Structure 1
Amino acid sequence: MERTKGISRAGFLAGTAAAGAAAVLAPAGRAHATERERGLRRRGVVYTVGEGETPATGWTAERMRADLRAIRQDLHADTVDVTGDGVERLAATATEAAERGLHVWLQPTLGDVPARDILEHLAETGRVAQRLRRQGASVDLSVGCEFWLFVPGIVPGGTVLERVRNLMNGTYDPVVMQRRLDAFTARAASTGRSVFDGRLSYAAAQDDQVDWSLFDIVGIDYYSSFPRPADHVRELRRHTRRGKPLAITEFGACAYAGAPDAGGMGWDVVDHDKDPEEIKGHLVRSERTQAEHLTTLLGVFEAMGLYAAMAFEFVTPDAPHRADDPRYDLDMASYAVTRTVRNRPGHPEAGWHWEPKQAFHALARHYGPRAAPR
């Protein structure tokens, strides 16, 4: 998930390979990989496209091409989850990724607009996926992400943030929510099928109730933290028992001590009412914590022989790092495996660049050519 109208995916969380024989999915009826098939089939990262909170942090073709080159050559990923809104941005990014030999997981996530607009946006993006597929690209289509947050009318609230707060406060009817969620999910699946004849999926929160008969791949945004890998395996088994390939569509943690325990709420440590925005409390920056959590989860996913895992996320331009003052180190509240560094702190118009975190290097080692063959 990425940018909705006026809120980035990082801010929204401020709200709750080359094609070939190795890329072929196991038959849908086989829930578990055999010993020969152990290991992730697709190792990836989420790459968000969007307008940005300022002109300086918005998507550009030049930056996107450089980022995908780094994802392929330096991170050693074979898959990129291209997500966000804006069909032209999604199309350009997916096309570039395919041309670089990356498997494309294409996921439109337009939000806070009428449902019909979201479905139209999905259909247009699905046509892009179909065109790439016909041209020989390796591509899966996800019809969206956690609809109860992005789609108005499922949970009370006019914006993503309002819906998140209503969920947290319990000010909603779970029966009505589930009925509306089921109805929209079915419409989205039908829309995806009407324009794309490849593998279809959806990115659900790990506790969502979804009719997975509508999809070919089970997609889960996974943010649990347990003391033992076996606990993760136990929790994920309920998704593999459905008899379909399982893709971890998001996983990760923020870069401060204790962040994995905060899970999908790790972002909620920024005081947005202050100017400039400020980290709450006295957090201790810890890139090591983030890196170790990522590699622990990858070990679990590998052992289970899952279809795909995509770390959230490559870069978060609107959460800059400040080495000189931890109070303003917004990167601590980011799930990105790179840190955004402004060329002149306090002057966003001066531009920015990213630098790899420990999590980036950990992923690169895990994804790299020395990793176990898949």
Structure 2
Amino acid sequence: MSLDIRGISYVAGYTSGEAVRRDMRAIREDLHCTTVMVIDTDTRTQMEAARRALEVGLDVYIRPYVADRPHREILAHLSATAAAAEELRVQYPGRVTLLLGSEFSLTSPGMLPGPRVFIRLQVLVRWRRFFDRRITRKLNALLGAALPVARAAFGGPVSYAAGFWEKVDWSGFDLVGVNLYRLGPDPAAYQQRLRALLREADKPVVITEFGCGAHLGAERRGPGAFRIVNWFTQPPQVKDGHVRDEPTQAAYLAELIDLYAAHGVHGCFVYPFAMPDFPHRADPRHDLDMAGFGVVRVPPEDPSQWEPKEAFHQVARCYEAAERGVAASGTGGPMG
């Protein structure tokens, strides 16, 4: 059994001060996490959240997020983030890791057609195979430019959160990081993909994202849970025929955590703690939380007043069990 890093992602910037400290304390004490991945575009709020995490005993992965910007701006933002992360690393030796970013082929222009992430996502879902070679060539060129920028300012371990479709040259990185969502009707195929990833990697593997929505059928949609919402209505509305079901999300996370532990994965990050852009409402037609991945429910009025979902309690059980070296999903073993 492995799973040395038991983590969750935290999108910063929605709350501040004591609310962030309370969230980090819940992540450490209630979810039994060892590590939190702090995601933000604003470096200042990102470092504030990271510092509060470190203060309560969590290790930190710093993941900058810059969407739809030219590569030169991505590199400039990475340089500023790396310098700020280095200040934290010096104060908390051995506890800070820097990611260059995440899924650059989707979040940055030029690898897939489209001026915005949402349009490129449609291209990725429908026609990715036509762009695989271009993605690989341009992605590794961008990573090759970004890596020395990060190393110049940051002295700790460096990785990247790759999309599962991205073919990354990992030779210059300290860890292999992959966003590895399970989707489709064949769980065995996911297990085979995980085994192949571990077999091919010559350094520790971290699953930097995984999760699903809280509705019936979400375990097959994986990262596509957002597609049950019609985003072009005002306000956005859940399409007919979709039913909220928190146990679906909880079971999905439990099965994958057990799978990672059984296969010797170095670490994993549930995605994410909360999704304020997907608030919970009593009216099922406007309950965007059923399409979101958060392990807590967030009301539309105040993101700090969250409530734990079944997924929260299941992740807590799994991480506590992984610490003891036993499976906790109740499935009789990892199912992939």
Structure 1 and Structure 2 fold alike (TM over 0.5): yes
1:153 aligns with 2:93: no
1:365 aligns with 2:317: yes
> Corresponding residue for 1:44?
7
- 1:173 Cα shift? 4.0
Percent identity between matched residues is 39
Distance across 1 between alignment mates of 2:154 and 2:303: 38
Contact 2:10–2:272 (CA<8 Å) still a contact in 1? yes
Which piece of structure 1 moves more, 172-181 or 216-225? 172-181
> Corresponding residue for 2:96?
139
Which residue identity does 2:46 align to in structure 1?
L
SS in 2 for 1:140: strand
Aligned partner of 1:251 among 192, 197, 210: 210
* Misfit runs of 4+, over 6 Å: 226-229
- 1:169 Cα shift? 4.0
Distance across 1 between alignment mates of 2:240 and 2:274: 24
1:181 aligns with 2:139: yes
> Corresponding residue for 1:94?
50
SS in 2 for 1:268: helix
Residues 28-77 of structure 1, C-alpha deviations (whole Å, 9 max, x = no match): xxxxxxxxxx2210101000124xxxxxxx34233222211111121121
**1:152-301 map, 5 Å:** 152-170=109-127, 173-225=131-183, 231-241=189-199, 242-301=201-260
Distance across 2 between alignment mates of 1:226 and 1:123: 38
Which residue identity does 2:229 align to in structure 1?
V
Change beyond 3 A, Cα 1:98–1:351: closer
> Corresponding residue for 1:64?
20
Contact 1:319–1:333 (CA<8 Å) still a contact in 2? yes
- 1:199 Cα shift? 1.3
1:103 aligns with 2:59: yes
Residues 167-211 of structure 1, C-alpha deviations (whole Å, 9 max, x = no match): 234386443333211211111112111112221110011121110
Distance across 2 between alignment mates of 1:266 and 1:107: 23
Change beyond 3 A, Cα 1:193–1:338: same
Distance across 1 between alignment mates of 2:321 and 2:126: 47
Distance across 2 between alignment mates of 1:340 and 1:307: 30
SS in 2 for 1:318: coil
Distance across 2 between alignment mates of 1:133 and 1:214: 20
Change beyond 3 A, Cα 1:146–1:341: same
Contact 1:232–1:300 (CA<8 Å) still a contact in 2? no
Distance across 2 between alignment mates of 1:332 and 1:364: 20
Which residue identity does 2:163 align to in structure 1?
A
Residues 2-35 of structure 1, C-alpha deviations (whole Å, 9 max, x = no match): xxxxxxxxxxxxxxxxxxxxxxxxxxxxxxxxxx
Which piece of structure 1 moves more, 140-149 or 177-186? 177-186
Contact 2:258–2:318 (CA<8 Å) still a contact in 1? no
Change beyond 3 A, Cα 1:69–1:155: same
> Corresponding residue for 1:338?
296
Which piece of structure 1 moves more, 229-238 or 306-315? 229-238
Distance across 1 between alignment mates of 2:96 and 2:52: 12
Unaligned runs of 5+ in 2: 327-336
Contact 2:162–2:178 (CA<8 Å) still a contact in 1? yes
- 1:307 Cα shift? 1.2
SS in 1 for 2:171: helix
Change beyond 3 A, Cα 1:257–1:357: same
Which residue identity does 1:176 align to in structure 2?
R
Which piece of structure 1 moves more, 131-140 or 224-233? 224-233
SS in 2 for 1:321: coil
Unaligned runs of 5+ in 1: 1-37, 51-57, 343-347
> Corresponding residue for 1:112?
68
Give the length in aligned residue pairs. Answer: 323
Residues 307-339 of structure 1, C-alpha deviations (whole Å, 9 max, x = no match): 11110010011211122x211111000000001
Contact 2:63–2:100 (CA<8 Å) still a contact in 1? yes
